[in-house]
A and B are shown apart, each in its own frame.
Chain A
Amino acid sequence: MNLEILSIEVRWFLASIGAILVLATVIVQALIRLKPQADLGNLARRVNSWWVMTGVFTFAMVLSRNISIGFFAFISFLALKEFLSLIPTRRADRRVLFWAYLAIPLQFLWIYMEWYGLFIIFIPVYMFLLLPLRMLVIGQTEGFIKAIGTIHWGLMLTVFCLSHTAFLLILRSPDAPSEFPGVGLVLFLVVMTQLNDVCQFLWGKALGGAKILPKVSPGKTWAGFLGGVGTTTIAAWQIGPFLTVLDSGQSLLAGLIISIGGFIGDVNLSALKRDMHVKDSGSLLPGHGGILDRIDSLTYTAPLFFHFVYWSFQWHTFGTGIGK
């Protein structure tokens, strides 16, 4: 348990999230009692799933850093599996898919080893070069480019992009190599991303108006997008300096990056689902859909926020095991 080393701010923040969930549960239960004729089953399932997700995520974050890294590896596994189950694949490519799965333990091993150089090129370069080779050995050229393109695209989104979240956990300053400010940064990234999803949805419902990308996501409006960006940026500006190493200005900028990036990640996966003629990417999270439905925004916000943090400070990463 590394609860002791969690900063008092992180503990306060986790407690507030718990309080918000309690409040949401009370409101939903009251609505169900007051309006028995309205169908609120989905809302109740949604809140229940939030409890489960928050509970699992909090446990994974506070138990130990290695458990947190393993947790993100598992989320990547679920997301890649959901993606590969969703898209058309070729029978001949079973072994290629297996190799794509093998990228997950390796990618998170580099993170565990604090090996930034390999973490950042392993999937974009080495897996990019290796997977086609595996496919060539099998030799089925019919549908080759579509197959290799879709598999690598999915690997980039579900493993490479998401794994940036875990890399935040092992960042440390050369001035204080025994301190890991990552838990606060991850909480900030994940909570701001989810908050942005909820706010864009609520502002869109409340204000309606002109649609922003009607062909991809007919439910999304300019009002929802701008309302979400505004709310998330203000929340980030307030919470960032309290929870993370970012100052007010950096937090504000981070909020802007997360809210705009989150929107793109969301509609990016919406386009995939629309292409596959499905409403939800899966059924793992009752009321929400699949795992991709929940982490779609994070596939964009994680790498964007990570690089913002990575270039804003001097970090010591390259290897306690390797090199220096």
Chain B
Amino acid sequence: MSPFNHFFRVLFFALLVRPFVLVMLGLNVRNRAKLPTQGPVVLVANHNSHLDAVTLMSLFPLRMLRKLRPVAAQDYFFRNPLLKWFALRVIGILPIDRRMKSKRTHPLSGIDNALKRGEVVIIFPEGSRGNPEQLGRFKAGIAHIAKNNPQVPVIPVFMHGLGKALPKGEGLLVPFFLDIFIGEPLPWKGEKKTFMEELSTRMRRLAAEGEFPSWD
């Protein structure tokens, strides 16, 4: 990444994202100490809002920004050149081709490479933001990543509130406090099915730690 883009990125997070997340929204992070201080590591979070990725990234110190790579859909973020530049160069996304048309490279190989470089990969295995504040079904790609990188810790993170503040299809932000619960690393035991079941259970258990008021 060029020094200019990185400088822009640090400014963007220090002057915009952090004050916004802390003042307009407000954080309640449980088990902050369990947040990794270095890569390679995979953070697995539920997806409610466009702000999920930058909010998670704002939890890390600025010096780790270079290492943070949220996985995002290529078809969505490459729609226009400005958005593409912003997503790739400022946020630093790892683009995923959801259409799976090109068979030459595996769609998840970019993630394996990032982990080999010691980066912090942030992934939302629900695939899309879906219904806000409802836990969707996790796609199995995450098990594939865990299988390819069995020594890399996979840390489940449950987020609540951004789906209320800025859900899918809404342009108006309404302030709400956010709850972010960091879980224990998930071990790879050699089987995709058990891994996915374990991940779902962990996520539901994290969600059950919070006392969330109804929202429907």
List residues of chain A with CB under 8 Å of any chain B CB. 77-78, 81-82, 84-91, 94-95, 97-98, 101, 276-278, 282-284
Q: Is the CB of B215 within 8 A of A91?
A: yes
Chain B residues whose CB sits within 8 angstroms of the CB of A81 once the complex forms: 26, 175-177
CB distance from A208 to the nearest CB of B (A): 30
Q: Check: B172 CB closer than 8 A to any chain A CB.
A: yes
CB distance from B161 to the nearest CB of A (A): 7
Chain A residues whose CB sits within 8 angstroms of the CB of B177 once the complex forms: 81-82, 85, 282
CB distance from A114 to the nearest CB of B (A): 28
Q: CA separation between A78 and B26, bound complex, in Å?
A: 9
Chain B residues whose CB sits within 8 angstroms of the CB of A86 once the complex forms: 213
CB distance from B174 to the nearest CB of A (A): 5
Q: Check: B170 CB closer than 8 A to any chain A CB.
A: yes
Q: CA separation between A86 and B214, bound complex, in Å?
A: 10
Chain B residues whose CB sits within 8 angstroms of the CB of A101 once the complex forms: 174-175
Q: CA separation between A151 and B68, bound complex, in Å?
A: 39
Partner of A87, one of B161, B174, B213: B213
Q: CA separation between A87 and B176, bound complex, in Å?
A: 11
CB distance from B86 to the nearest CB of A (A): 26
Q: CA separation between A297 and B214, bound complex, in Å?
A: 27
Interface string of B153-197 (1 = CB under 8 A from A): 000000001001001001010111100000000000000000000
**Contact of A283 with B214 at beta-carbon distance under 8 Å, contacts A94-B170, A101-B175 already known:** no
Q: Check: B209 CB closer than 8 A to any chain A CB.
A: no
Q: CA separation between A147 and B211, bound complex, in Å?
A: 19
Q: CA separation between A91 and B216, bound complex, in Å?
A: 5
Interface string of B24-35 (1 = CB under 8 A from A): 001010000000
Q: Is the CB of B172 within 8 A of A88?
A: no
Q: CA separation between A97 and B170, bound complex, in Å?
A: 14
Interface secondary structure of A, over-half rule: helix
Partner of B174, one of A77, A94, A284: A94
Chain A residues whose CB sits within 8 angstroms of the CB of B164 once the complex forms: 89, 91, 94
Can you name the residue of chain B whose Cβ is closest to the Cβ of A77? B175
Q: CA separation between A283 and B28, bound complex, in Å?
A: 6
Interface secondary structure of B, over-half rule: loop
| New A-B pairs, 16, CB < 8 Å, besides A81-B175, A86-B213, A91-B215 | A77-B175, A82-B26, A82-B177, A84-B176, A85-B176, A87-B213, A89-B215, A90-B215, A91-B164, A91-B216, A94-B164, A94-B172, A94-B174, A95-B174, A276-B211, A284-B26
Q: CA separation between A277 and B211, bound complex, in Å?
A: 7
Partner of A97, one of B26, B174, B213: B174
Chain A residues whose CB sits within 8 angstroms of the CB of B216 once the complex forms: 90-91
Q: CA separation between A91 and B170, bound complex, in Å?
A: 11
Chain A residues whose CB sits within 8 angstroms of the CB of B161 once the complex forms: 85
Can you name the residue of chain A whose Cβ is closest to the Cβ of B166? A94
20 cross-chain CB contacts under 8 A: A81-B175, A81-B177, A82-B26, A84-B175, A84-B176, A85-B177, A86-B213, A88-B213, A88-B214, A89-B213, A89-B215, A91-B164, A94-B174, A95-B172, A98-B172, A278-B211, A282-B28, A282-B177, A283-B28, A284-B26
Chain B residues whose CB sits within 8 angstroms of the CB of A282 once the complex forms: 26, 28, 177
Q: CA separation between A278 and B210, bound complex, in Å?
A: 10
Chain B residues whose CB sits within 8 angstroms of the CB of A77 once the complex forms: 175
- 10 smallest CB-CB distances across A and B, nearest first, come from A85-B177, A88-B213, A88-B214, A283-B28, A85-B176, A94-B174, A81-B175, A98-B174, A97-B174, A278-B211
Q: CA separation between A86 and B211, bound complex, in Å?
A: 9
Q: CA separation between A78 and B22, bound complex, in Å?
A: 11
CB distance from A284 to the nearest CB of B (A): 7
CB distance from B175 to the nearest CB of A (A): 5
Q: CA separation between A89 and B212, bound complex, in Å?
A: 11
Q: CA separation between A277 and B212, bound complex, in Å?
A: 10
Q: CA separation between A89 and B170, bound complex, in Å?
A: 17
Q: CA separation between A85 and B213, bound complex, in Å?
A: 8
CB distance from A29 to the nearest CB of B (A): 24
Q: CA separation between A89 and B213, bound complex, in Å?
A: 8
CB distance from A252 to the nearest CB of B (A): 40
CB distance from A161 to the nearest CB of B (A): 20
Q: CA separation between A222 and B25, bound complex, in Å?
A: 39
Q: CA separation between A21 and B216, bound complex, in Å?
A: 45
Chain B residues whose CB sits within 8 angstroms of the CB of A284 once the complex forms: 26
Q: CA separation between A276 and B172, bound complex, in Å?
A: 27
Q: CA separation between A87 and B213, bound complex, in Å?
A: 6
Can you name the residue of chain B whose Cβ is closest to the Cβ of A92? B216
**Contact of A276 with B174 at beta-carbon distance under 8 Å, contacts A81-B26, A85-B161, A282-B28 already known:** no
Chain A residues whose CB sits within 8 angstroms of the CB of B175 once the complex forms: 77, 81, 84, 101
CB distance from B184 to the nearest CB of A (A): 21
Q: Is the CB of A276 within 8 A of B170?
A: no
Chain A residues whose CB sits within 8 angstroms of the CB of B211 once the complex forms: 276-278
